[in-house]
Every structure is written in C-alpha cells, then in structure tokens.
Structure 1
C-alpha cells in the first residue's frame, strides 16, 4: 500500500524519551539568586558563630583591671568543666561581675534584634522596631514610677514588683492598648497598629518626663541612666528569664518563617498561601512584645539595635526569615556586647549609657551599608 507523501513544512517526528522543558531565563535567575543568598548566609552565619564567642571573651577581659583572654578562658573552664580555680580576685571579677554582664548584653541585643525583624514583617514598614509600638515607653513609665514614687507606692503591689517587674507589666499593658486601638472591623490593621503605637509612645513619654521633673536630684541620675539603657550591675539571676524567652521565642519564630515571609508580601498573598494573617499577626505581636518587655525589665531602654541589625542582615542575605532570624540574633547580641564594652572604656572611669554608644557607633555603619545597597531592605525600590 502506498503511503501518502509527507506534508510540506513538517519534519518527520522522532520518538524520544521524556525530556523536561528547559527552565526559562527568569526562573534560572531566581534560582541563581537563591543559591547566592544561601552561600552568603552560610558565610555570614559561620562568621558570626566564630566571632560571637571571641567578642564575649574579649569583653569579659577588658575593664579597669585588664585580664588576658587566656585567664578568662581558664576561669570559664574551671566553672563549666570543673578543675582548680585560679587567683580568687581574678575569678571573682570574671565569673561574678563581667561574665553575667557580657552575657546579659548579648541576650538583650539578640532579643531586640529578633523583635525588630518580626515587627518589620508584621507592620510591613522598614522603620518598625521594638520601640515604635510604645512597648518601651510603657515599660519606662512603670519603672520610673517605681523609682520616683517610692514613698507613695510603698506597700502597694507596684512596689512589691520592683523595677523589673513593673517594667514588664507596663510593657504588656501598653501592648494590650495598642492592639485594641489597632483593630478595625474586627481585624488588626498594620497602619493603625503603627499609628496607635507612635501616639501612645508620645503620651507615655510625656508622663515619664513629668515624673522625672518632680523627682529628687538623687533619683534623677538613676532614672536617666536606666532610661538610656545599662547592663551594669548584672548578676546571674538576671539571665535566666531573658535567656529562656529568647531561645523559645526565636525557635518558634524560625518555625513560623513561612508565615513571616507571607505577611511581608501582604495579606492577599498570605491568604492565597493559607496563612491566617490576622491570627498570625497577633501571635507575632505578643511574642515580639514579650521579647522586648523581658529585656527592658533588666536593661532599661536600649534603642537602635532592633532597627539596624535586621536591616544589615537583610542587605547581606535577603529577607527569607528562616535565614534572617538566627543571623539577626547573633549580630544584635555581638553588637550590643561591643557597645557595652565601648561604653565602659571610652570615658573610664565613667560609663556611657548603651543608647549613646549604639547610636554613635551604629548609625555610620548602617548608613554605609544603606548607601552601598540598591534597594531599601523591607521597603520599596
């Protein structure tokens, strides 16, 4: 039987195995960018994991009585692994005074950095940080009330809490007020949250200033130093609660990385991915406020860390929160340890408050990174 001639313009078909279509150029670009971000993240994380213990040891050895790193390590080894304790004076300086201080500075910096990263995703604003929602102002007002109204509050529940307990309750009470004011039609609105936080912050700061004006001269120095942040006088008892909250909160937040990424893209994208934006946003707010409140209660007001640390990490490794949060915690912790070290040494025997050092040292570094970047992290193009 004769076969029909082939149709003009059609090549004969060849039977081949199943071949996947080649990825498009945009898909290849996205995959290459993700691989590059992963490599940068691994390098950054390794650098921070190595640098953080070095910074802690150097900071523990620096001070009015300089102690070599080898002696610091010997004291740590004796207490952690057992063995003979060296010179009693050196042991007391390192183990009882400096190690709790540098560890508390690290925990405070890490907690504020993580809280800042979360809040920037929750309200989708690159300027968000732990203090923009008024949590710090509420904690400060409650703490200053205890410091300045000691006679009036004696015998009351506020006095029995002490400064740390009052600061913690003040922060949580402010969060409740901000969430209540930030709801619209039964849902949390990021813009309303931000505006409510800023408005309440100004109101609470005004009340705090009034308490400062009526305080005695011998109280004013303590009030100002606490408001500007300090980890001086830290002891081992100050570390347990903030460390536990930091570890548990950061672990949970990393597990919620997909939801954080979706919120950063907007509520419509979050809904399309099956993320209940309103419920997740409320949970994240509570966790971020708890992180902020627990560290403010032991270190006072420490600004700037929660703003700059997340942005610096985003500029280096991108906005993916499962990579962002661990690196942000390490960077924020190491940064605040160095800030405390500078504050102890630059004007010795006086100590500079943490807020002064974080602003002076951190702003130029952040501006250099921002100038080198082609895009504002967490913001528009």
Structure 2
C-alpha cells in the first residue's frame, strides 16, 4: 500500500510538472490560453498554439525520454557492477557520445541534418564502451569486475579522455561553431524537435525491452556471480551486453540533449530507499522518477533567472553534487 501511494504521488507530481513545462518559460501561458492552444491543435496558425505544439511539447517529450533512459541505464549499470556510483556519465559513456557529436558538428557542420550529431554520438559512445571493456578485460586473471572501484576509475579515465578531446575540438573550431555548441555541451532540451524525437523514443524502447528480457538474469546477478552462474547465467556476457545497450541508448539521447549527468546516479538510490523490490518492480518507478527529475530540472532552469535559461545539465549537476555529498555524509557509499 505504501509503495502504491508513493507511486501515485510520483505520477501526480509528474503530471503537474508536465503542465508546468508546457506553461512556463520565457513566455508564460495562463490555464485558459493553454487550454485554447491545446484544443486548437498543432496545425493552428495561432501563435500560442504554435509555441506549445512546436516548441514546448517536443521539449517535454525529450525531457521525459532523457530522464527515463538515463535513470534506467544507471539502474542497470549499478546492478551489473554492484557499485552504487555507477552512472552513464561517470562511466564515460556520455562523454564519449558528447565528443563524437561535437566532432561531427565541427568537421561536417549541418551537412547530414539531424543525423549529424546523432551519428557522432553513437560512434563516440561505442568507442567509449570499447575502451572501457578493453581496460577491464586487460586485467590479470580475466576478472575485470572483481573490484568495483576499478570500473569507476576506468570510467573516470575515459570520461576525462573524451572530455579533453571535446574541449580540443571546440578550441580548434571556428568561433561560430564554438558558440553554437557551447550551450549544447552543458546539456539542454532546447534542441527538441519532432524529427529528432524518434531517436530518443527508440532508445527507451530498446533499453526497456532489454531490461524486460534480461530481468531474471539480472535478478540472479544481484545475488552474486556464483549464484548467477549456478543458475546458468553467463555473467561476463550479460555485463558486456548491458554496458553496450546502455551506451547505445544514452548515446542516442546525448546526441540531442548533450550530456545530462547524475540522473542515473540519483534515481536508483531513491527507488531502492523505498524498500526491497525486484527489477521488474523497479523499472517503471525508476523511469517515472527519472522523467520527473529531468522535467523538474528543465522547468527550474527556465524560471530561476528572469529572461535567461540555465542549461539543464547545470541544474542537475547542482542537485547531484548535493545528493552525492549527502550520501557520503550518511555513509551510503
């Protein structure tokens, strides 16, 4: 009952945040104006309807998609590594995808349209994953996951590597290019467009399907490698598959939003704080809370300063740093 009430509260809050995301921004809309614009539909020539259907709705959908993907990827990575600090951002997956997208923008501009950043992000995320797996499997005794701290250190090293590459690319590019991607590198949902949203929605579908299919093997892995192997689970293969799918899913989102940190770290800890539950039970709640956090951060970035917009990555980083400090102070990590 307690879990159901909490789920209902989160769902109600998410709906309220969705309405706030559509209504608030540089131009605020009253409930009456919002209702009229929604009734008018996406093909109306009314200015309010055009703003809501062309700008606000795609941005809301992108924020929801990014929150779901990052939160569920963080949950999956924490399970397969048995490390509460596991997160797509800390693993270097987001940094790799970001560097790949920036490379494509710097060298090709808008030559391939919406596929420019998307292709670079997928390649960059794949390279980051390849480097991560190479570092881990190069260890002696072929036990790359025996020390969870080693995985975090490898991810931090890769993150610094790709962040440096991205900074060099920005520095080497012309001034107009550097200015155009500076805001993007800090994370933002302002690039949302109906043409790019299918990529983010496909990322949700792929990751969710994987978690559904692999729910039982992942559940066995939570009990330990020995237990999982006794049940016929190939632990190394499952870990590789999980990290690869998380990299590809996050890469598809990062290609549109830029790096969005800490959602994958914060949300799984909040959900686990509600009590013991299976992966099947955690997955929808993690997705809902991830979407809520992403939308709340986006709304905060739009209203906290008059006539200015804070990048969503800055807002979430502030929340994440406080949360991480709280976890350290409470001895949770």
Distance in 1 separating the partners of 2:113 and 2:97: 15
Deviations along 1:185-210, one digit per CA (max 9) or x if unpaired, are 66653645444332222222222222
SS in 1 for 2:91: coil
Higher RCO (C-alpha 8 Å, min separation 6): 2
Larger radius of gyration: 1
Pair 1:127 & 2:85 matched: yes
Distance in 2 separating the partners of 1:77 and 1:250: 32
Distance in 2 separating the partners of 1:107 and 1:231: 11
Are 2:108 and 2:116, in contact at CA under 8 Å, matched by a contact in 1? no
Shift of 1:50: 2.4
Distance in 1 separating the partners of 2:146 and 2:248: 19
Shift of 1:88: 0.9
Which deviates further from its counterpart, 186-195 or 216-225? 186-195
Using the size of structure 2 for normalisation, the TM-score is: 0.87
Deviations along 1:272-310, one digit per CA (max 9) or x if unpaired, are 333221222222112211221111011001111111111
Which deviates further from its counterpart, 106-115 or 356-365? 356-365
Which deviates further from its counterpart, 328-337 or 64-73? 64-73
Structure 1 match to 2:126:
172
Pair 1:203 & 2:161 matched: yes
Pair 1:41 & 2:6 matched: no
SS in 1 for 2:195: helix
Are 1:44 and 1:327, in contact at CA under 8 Å, matched by a contact in 2? no
Which deviates further from its counterpart, 215-224 or 172-181? 215-224
Q: Cα distance 1:69–1:144, how it changes in 2: closer, same or farther (>3 A)?
A: same
Distance in 1 separating the partners of 2:292 and 2:98: 24
Distance in 2 separating the partners of 1:302 and 1:41: 28
Are 2:58 and 2:192, in contact at CA under 8 Å, matched by a contact in 1? yes
Shift of 1:222: 2.6
Shift of 1:73: 4.4
Structure 2 match to 1:52:
14
Q: Cα distance 1:196–1:321, how it changes in 2: closer, same or farther (>3 A)?
A: same
Q: Cα distance 1:159–1:63, how it changes in 2: closer, same or farther (>3 A)?
A: closer
Deviations along 1:167-199, one digit per CA (max 9) or x if unpaired, are 122112221232233225666536454443322
Distance in 1 separating the partners of 2:155 and 2:258: 19
Corresponding pairs, count: 329
Using the size of structure 1 for normalisation, the TM-score is: 0.77
Q: How big is the alpha-carbon RMSD for the aligned residues of Structure 1 and Structure 2? A: 2.8
Unaligned runs of 5+ in 1: 1-38
Are 2:114 and 2:196, in contact at CA under 8 Å, matched by a contact in 1? no
Are 1:41 and 1:323, in contact at CA under 8 Å, matched by a contact in 2? no
Pair 1:97 & 2:47 matched: no
Unaligned runs of 5+ in 2: none
Structure 1 match to 2:307:
349
Are 1:120 and 1:128, in contact at CA under 8 Å, matched by a contact in 2? yes
Structure 2 match to 1:264:
222
Shift of 1:366: 6.6
Residue number among 294, 297, 301 corresponding to 1:339 in the alignment: 297
Distance in 2 separating the partners of 1:178 and 1:365: 26
